[in-house]
Amino acid sequence: MEANVEVLEAESADGWESVVSGCFVPLRCAGFEPAFAGRMEHVALDDRLSVSLVTTCGTSAERTARLARRAEADDVHISLQRSSHGTVSADGRATSVRPGSVTIYATDRPYYLDYSWRDQQQHIVQVSRTSLGLPPRMLEAAMARLAVPGGASSSSARNLFSYVRELPDGPASSRVADVTRDLARVMIRSSFADGVVVPRTSGGLRHAVKEYLRQNATRPGLDMDQVARQHFVSRRRLYQAFEQAGQSPAAFLRAERLRVAARLLTDPRQAGRTVEQIGYAAGFEDPTTFTRAFRRAYGCAPREWRAAGGA
């Protein structure tokens, strides 16, 4: 998480309660380890959206009914459990979480977070429900089940949290906020849809396609017509989304394939493979194209890269 991040740390119960209440909503914290340490990396993207990375050695937090009644906003927390495990309780329901679990719950209602196990880390998107522009019934249904089906293994959740994990450098911009909100909206809507839900923003579409290309870079014969169809957009719309960032989807795919090839060339476990075989394994369809692209990107031929150990 890069963009204009505020880093806050605490080593006491009172200090941590102040940190989390200031970044999120007023909470009561308990269950501290004797040698407690907590760290909050927090960025407000606009007045209705923030992103945080929370790391603690274990604690619990409660949004009491009294505190919830005083809520001035209609925010939800969308939380990715990155390490350790715990329990999230809200509206009389509870769900256990482990690494990769994604939960969603309202901040204007009581909830309880049992993160008392050691080595906790959560990535949290706090966003106004109204600003998401989703049907109220869909949001209510999402909050009622607490856990997002599939968690981080679903492509839409992976797209959201991979984007906020690497927010662009510099001050938070309205474009970054729009993309984050767009990807959050897609994640919630996708959890109720049978087909693909497409981001509305160019930045959201571009990020979703990049993640798709990273996952499928080594597929032979993958072309941009297939990629466009997979995301239910025209080829023209696909290229427009990338042109706004000064690149093309085909160039991004080629760079991903070259990155895979560069890694395989220096992997001792691939010593029995020829350079040509590695080119094919990375998704290139012929050795000449592979060698020319590799030389342009890395300044040397694949064989030279391998001989030098990638230096």
Give pTM, 2 decimals.
0.91
Residue 174: the pLDDT is: 85
CATH numbers and ranges of domains, the chain: 6-197 (2.60.120.10), 205-311 (1.10.10.60)
Confidence band of 168 (pLDDT split at 50, 70, 90): low
Confidence band of 170 (pLDDT split at 50, 70, 90): low
- What's the pLDDT tens digit per position in 109-129? 999 999 999 999 999 999 999
- What's the pLDDT tens digit per position in 184-229? 999 999 999 877 789 999 999 999 999 999 999 999 889 999 999 9
Structural contact between residues 109 and 63, judged by C-beta atoms closer than 8 angstroms: yes
Residue 173: the pLDDT is: 78
**Rounded distance between C-alpha atoms, residue 125 and residue 111, angstroms:** 16
Confidence band of 139 (pLDDT split at 50, 70, 90): very high
Structural contact between residues 75 and 46, judged by C-beta atoms closer than 8 angstroms: no
Average pLDDT value for residue range 273-279: 96
Residue 88: the pLDDT is: 97
Residue 89: pLDDT over 90: yes
Cα separations in angstroms, 55 against 120, 146, 187, 231: 6, 21, 24, 35
Residue 2: the pLDDT is: 54
Residue 105: the pLDDT is: 96
With vertex at residue 192, the alpha carbon angle to CA 191 and CA 195, rounded to the nearest 5 degrees, is 85
Residue 35: the pLDDT is: 81
Percent of the chain scoring above 90 in pLDDT: 84
Structural contact between residues 55 and 39, judged by C-beta atoms closer than 8 angstroms: yes
- What's the pLDDT tens digit per position in 3-55? 578 999 998 888 999 999 999 999 998 877 778 899 999 999 999 999 999 99
Which residues fall within 8 angstroms of residue 259, CB to CB, at 6 or more apart?
A: none
* Mean pLDDT over each residue of the chain, to the nearest integer: 93
Closest CA to 205 of 174, 240, 177: 240
Average pLDDT value for residue range 66-94: 94
Residue 84: the pLDDT is: 96
- What's the pLDDT tens digit per position in 249-274? 999 999 999 999 999 999 999 999 99
Residue 171: the pLDDT is: 57
